[in-house]
Amino acid sequence: MHIIRKFYGLLLVVFLTACATQAPLPVSTSTANAQVIAAPVQQVYLSPEQIDTTRFLGPPPDEAATKREIAYMLSLQKQRTREQAKAAAADLDQSVFRFADVMGDKFEKEFLPKTAKLFANLYKTGNGLDKQGKKKWKRVRPPLADARIHPVTKYSSSGSYPSGHATFSYLSGIVLADMVPEKSEQIFARARAFGENRVIGGVHYPSDVAAGQRLATMIAVLIQQNPAFQNDYAAARAELRAELGLP
């Protein structure tokens, strides 16, 4: 635990130092005769300009380890059921509302606009940061590395490492579990399944998913200092708990 605290303490120092060099966010203004209402704009809580996440992720496994991962994926492919293939394909949708199977029937976008906004911003944040590793290492996707891998869903031609879907699922899981700790065990299990479905579906190596989990944890720690995240989180948490009938 001491090592973990030191690791995230270092990340926090890097983040705060980067933030100090950023220009302040623009402040909305209004006139005495008219009220200006800005349309909601999707934003990021941590930008690629503020941190190079590849410094903390480390490179993907070497060729020998990749071959072992492919062998494991081929064994999963042989055992893959129709239900597993269907679930893997459905999880192509990077939406927090894929957690509805553990959150309940009231967990729907149309009832939770503030929650939807928060997680849309988290998606945009993670998407910008996972591209750093994808562009740096350009790891070839499993189906492109070995023709024996038969994916059950669409996949990007971008780098495989880290998994963007895993980054989003774990980041969403961390934040969602913090908002509704009463369901934290089920939420984290669902986040894990979301990532595993990328392996079962044949579009990511297990190490891609593990890297996505590490990246998500890094992001979750660093955005705690962002006032925009703090405000959006507080509003979404109150909205969600009220909708679910929680105190």
Q: What is the pLDDT of residues 166-218, one digit of tens each?
A: 999 999 999 999 999 999 999 999 999 999 999 999 999 999 999 999 999 99
Cα 30 from Cα 34, distance rounded (Å)? 7
Tokens of 51: 């941190």
- Confidence class of residue 41 from pLDDT cuts 50, 70 and 90? low
Q: Phi then psi for 117, rounded to 5 degrees?
A: -65, -45
pLDDT mean over 6-11: 48
HEC profile of 180-231:
CHHHHHHHHHHHHHHHHHHHHCCCCCHHHHHHHHHHHHHHHHHHHHCHHHHH
Residue 218 contacts residue 9 (beta carbons within 8 Å): no
Return the residue matching tokens 């998994």: 163
Domains and CATH numbers, the chain: 60-243 (1.20.144.10)
226 phi/psi in degrees, rounded to 5: -90, 120
pTM for the structure as a whole = 0.84
Distance CA 102, CA 143 (A): 31
Return the structure tokens found at 99: 């957690």
Q: Residue 135: how many CB atoms within 10 A of its CB? A: 12
Confidence band of 9 (pLDDT split at 50, 70, 90): low
What per-residue confidence (pLDDT) applies to 159? 95
For residues 36 and 30, is the Cβ–Cβ distance under 8 A? yes
Question: Cis bond leading into 162, ω under 30°?
Answer: yes
Task: Return the pLDDT at 4.
Answer: 40
Q: Please choose, from the candidates 224, 44, 222, the residue with its C-alpha nearest in 3D space to the C-alpha of residue 121.
A: 44
pLDDT bin (cut points 50, 70, 90) of residue 154 is confident
164-179 vs 113-137: helix crossing angle, rounded to 10:
150
Gap between the Cα atoms of 196 and 84, Å rounded: 10
Backbone angles phi, psi at 186, to 5 degrees: -70, -35
Q: How many CA atoms lie within 13 A of 199 on its CB side?
A: 25
The alpha-helical segments, DSSP class H, found in the chain are: 2-20, 54-57, 63-79, 82-90, 100-103, 113-137, 142-145, 164-179, 184-200, 206-222, 227-243
Q: Please report, rounded to a whole number, the percentage of residues in the chain having pLDDT higher than 70.
A: 83
Mean pLDDT for 103-127 is 97
